[in-house]
Every structure is written in structure tokens, then in C-alpha cells.
Amino acid sequence: GGCRACAAKIVVGRDFLLTGLRLMASAQGQVLSAERLGKHKTSWQIITVIFFLLLLTIAEWNRASLQAVWWQRSWNEVGTLLVGVTIVLTLYSGLAYTWRHRAIIRDSDAV
């Protein structure tokens, strides 16, 4: 519950940060394109969301009880691993992107 809600906040926060950075770059006449690491991050986010939606769909179709051992282990163990990978990639890619383009932040103070 809480870990996954925190993960969602991190993902949204990173996206707001990078959108703001891109807006500052645009104001300076620059275009910041997406980078490979950000694309990997997005892929992991999509995989993680599909995993949880698939588990919930299986449960909704009554193919598995929410109490089934395999279902619980999938949700708790595999789900936690996927969320962890997603969080690490989200934080790393956001911080790396911001660091690489830090001059834009510095230059925006001079404008």
C-alpha cells in the first residue's frame, strides 16, 4: 500500500521536475529530448503497471483467490521487486538528467 503510493509520488514528482526543466530550457531557446535511460524507466513503469493489472484481472475473473499462495507471493514479492526497480530507475534517471542539464537551471537565474 504505502510503498506503492510513495512510488507513484516519486514517478509523478520526477515527471514534474523534468517538465519544469524542459520548460526552462525552452524559455532559453533549447530543446531537451528524452534520453535512453528515461526510456528504460518508462518501459519498467509500463511492465510494473501491466503486472499489477494482470494480477487484479486474474483475481476479478475468479481464476485465483486473493488468498491464493501464488497470487499473494506474486503481488508481494514480484510486485515489490518491480516497484523497487521502477523507483530506482525513476530516481536515477531523473537525477542524472537534471545533473546533465544543470546549466539550464543555473542560466535561468541570470534571465
C-alpha neighbours within 13 Å on the C-beta side of residue 81: 6
Task: Describe the chain by its helix, strand, coil percentages, rounded to 5.
Answer: 85, 0, 15
Per-residue pLDDT band at 98 (split at 50, 70, 90): very high
| pLDDT 10s digits, 29-87 | 999 888 899 999 999 999 999 999 999 998 888 766 777 889 899 999 999 999 999 99
Evaluate if pTM is beyond 0.85.
no
Judged on CB neighbours under 10 Å (0-12, 13-18, 19+), 75 is: middle
Nearest to 58 by CA among 48, 68, 46: 68
| Sign for the pseudo-dihedral over CA of 95, 98, 100, 103 | negative
111: which 3 cell numbers? 534571465
